Chain A
Amino acid sequence: MSAAGPSRPPVAVHQFIPTLNPRDATGSHTLLLRDILRAAGWRSEIFAEAIHDDLAAEAYKHWTYPDHAAAGDVAIYQFSTSSVVASFLAERSEPLIVDFHNFTAPEHFRGWEPHSEERAARAHDDLALLAQRTELGLADSRFNERDLRRAGYRRTTVIPVLVDYQRVGAPPDPRVAAELAAAKAGGGADLLFVGRIVPSKGQHELVKALWAYRRLYDPAARLHLVGGSSSFAYLKALRGFIAELGLVDAVRITGDVSDAALAAYFAAADVYLSLSAHEGFGVPLVEAMAAGVPVVARRVGAVAETVGDAALLLAGTEPSYVAAALHRVCADATLRQLLVEAGHRRLPAFGLDAAAPQLVAAVASVAGAPR
């Protein structure tokens, strides 16, 4: 830890990120962290390889950083995939903090997206590349911290990702809410999953589960898949699969939605169902807890760590098994209440009030106290 003396210029703590997107977990975390760093007294900007149009005013291209750099700067790298930003930072001398959100393993893209598979494979190299010159590794979960340790990071700590889960309690989009209410009036449970449509998130497993659930328990059940797609091949296959199973009217693929529309989907959901093959944290799981929606989830990655006792955790994805769990959560009021209450008990651990002081202290251990 370096102590900041009074004669030194103010320290800036800047963040670097591969892609700054408005509605993904890492992008939201980065924007929230910037505000926290500024509120704590540091100067802080965001530098990215790619910047979404909606956030063009919020960040600079990473290669412009030398124009902004000053002695005493500290860099935080928001690591979620491979990027030229990693090699850019590897060659710089600022003290570095790696905030690790994990990345999807290459095998999850195999056969679907060759370029994504290659990119995921390079992420391993990037993680190792930065290990030696990183002063502190931050991990969202103990699961992610273990990966950091394996990659050679010597000093690490676990601080949950910053989740502004209040957004799911915002006033719901009235148009979406009305559509969902009209569908619900006809009976049937509403199942919800929020996440990018990519093979690792296992949306096809959700469709299989819906098929079995409708066949065995609830013929009118619906599934809402909220989130954009970065895998055209997978999305196309998913649509074909849904059509072949005769579920076109039962599965809604929404694409990216506004916070208000997201709130409407959570408000209408009877169960939040996650059958992802990989999760380094699982922000929507926390949002489901905040919205009072019981969670059924496959026990992979950091899922169990995130949900604790606030979910039914499944060992597999066999459709009949998932369907039986869904049925139980929908039909057993006591179980629903226990899961929802457990979710509410877990929420404070993920709130900004809890995570912000931890992050400030962790950053200060590298940058010195803000002045």
Chain B
Amino acid sequence: MAKTQAEQPGGPSPDPQAYVAQVMAEIEEEVRLRRSSGDIPPKLERELDELFLAHSPVAGRGGDLTEALRMVDAATFVDPVVPVDSQRAAGAVVKKGMRTVLLWYVGWITHQISQFASAVSRALHIVEGRLKELERKVEVQRVPGAGVVEAPAAHRADAWWVAPAVDAVASVPGRIVHAASGDGWLVRRIIEAGGDAYGVDPRTNLVEAGVLTVSDLRGEDLADHLRAVAPSGLGAIVLSGVVDGMAGGERAQLLHLIGTTLAPGGVLVLHSLSRAAWDDDDAPFEADLAPGRPLRATTWRRLLDESGYDATVVDGPAGADYLIFAVRATVPPPEPTSGR
């Protein structure tokens, strides 16, 4: 096998820590190349998870109550007539004899277990019925989550904020996620600048179009994705078109997830439309449908400061949008006294 950069033959013993650090960097580079070359597409890696979950018990498949109840119903009867097949010649005869002898006892036990299971199943069906009724009532009052805001003037490769955003994240160690990534226009820029980036966007039609040119785009909700990321597993997070229309609860939840998944010293880049742009006649239609409206940039900075980030605000040239750079502190901040 060819020697790697870190493996130099014949020389003095390398400094262990420096050598391992160099090896880790080379491994990350190797993975990046493998992914971009299509040797092992990220989509295939994700399909492995789905394949494994297909073997998990019903609760691991997403928690559909009706499906779970169907499995409960199917399992309520405990069969006392044990199979007697055997690979040994006399095995089946012996087993059948034992079954006959023990059936009076085993049958009595299994009858009670089946009765108990049937009672539990009945109770669960009643609960399911009442839950469905409650869901119908709650649905009317539901606050929808903020969708992705598509602002054509701001969400494009030649927008004013793209170059500084790419500069801020391209050299960070670890993976970089962009949301909402659309067809991968910003992911491409970050990869070209040397970053190990991938994209997340719930608009699967855009993702499917983008994967032709950017290998690692994932058609999923950002919050769901961050919940699946390992703690401190990301080097940088870039958000555009995501936070603008969020309501308070959703925003607080996202901040919490970012705090969990962003590595200490990691970079958060956040782009948002301004309130003025939101109220303009040319505002995207999502502005009317969103549960919230953009925060002022100074409010974001305050929120991020309180959450343990060192945040800097850059206002856009026309006052229509702004960009925030925030570096996560290496030491966790004190718990905030009140939620926002």
Contact = CB atoms under 8 A, between A and B. Distances in A.
Nearest to A321: B31
A241 B52 contact: yes
B34 interface: yes
Nearest to B39: A216
Interface residues of A, number: 42
Contacts of B48: 208, 211, 245, 319
Given A244-B51, A316-B230, A335 B20 contact: yes
B4 interface: yes
Nearest to B235: A315
A369 interface: no
A240 interface: yes
B41 to A, nearest CB: 9
Interface stretch (B56-64, B72-80, B114-122, B178-186): B56-64
B226 to A, nearest CB: 13
B340 interface: no
B19 A241 contact: no
Contact of B230 (A212, A240, A317, A338): A317
B55 interface: yes
Interface residues of B, number: 38
Interface stretch (B22-30, B96-104, B298-306): B22-30
Contacts of A309: 16-17, 20
Contacts of A328: 4, 23, 26-27, 30
Contacts of B14: 334, 338
Contact of B56 (A111, A216, A321, A341): A111
Given A245-B51, A338-B20, A315 B40 contact: no
A260 interface: no
Given A112-B60, A315-B233, A208 B52 contact: yes
Contact of B232 (A110, A204, A315, A319): A315
Contacts of A319: 40, 45, 48
A335 B34 contact: no
A179 interface: no
A114 B49 CA distance: 21
Contacts of A257: none
A215 B230 CA distance: 24
Nearest to B27: A324
B261 to A, nearest CB: 11
B265 interface: no
A244 to B, nearest CB: 6
Contacts of B63: 111
A68 interface: no
B10 to A, nearest CB: 11
A334 B40 contact: no
Contacts of A315: 174, 230, 232-233, 263
A77 B28 CA distance: 44
A237 interface: yes
B99 to A, nearest CB: 23
B191 interface: no
B279 interface: no
Contacts of A208: 45, 48-49, 52
Given A111-B57, A312-B23, A324-B34, 20 more contacts: A111-B60, A212-B45, A215-B40, A237-B52, A237-B60, A245-B48, A298-B230, A309-B16, A312-B24, A315-B230, A316-B229, A316-B230, A317-B230, A319-B40, A323-B40, A324-B27, A328-B30, A335-B20, A338-B16, A339-B20
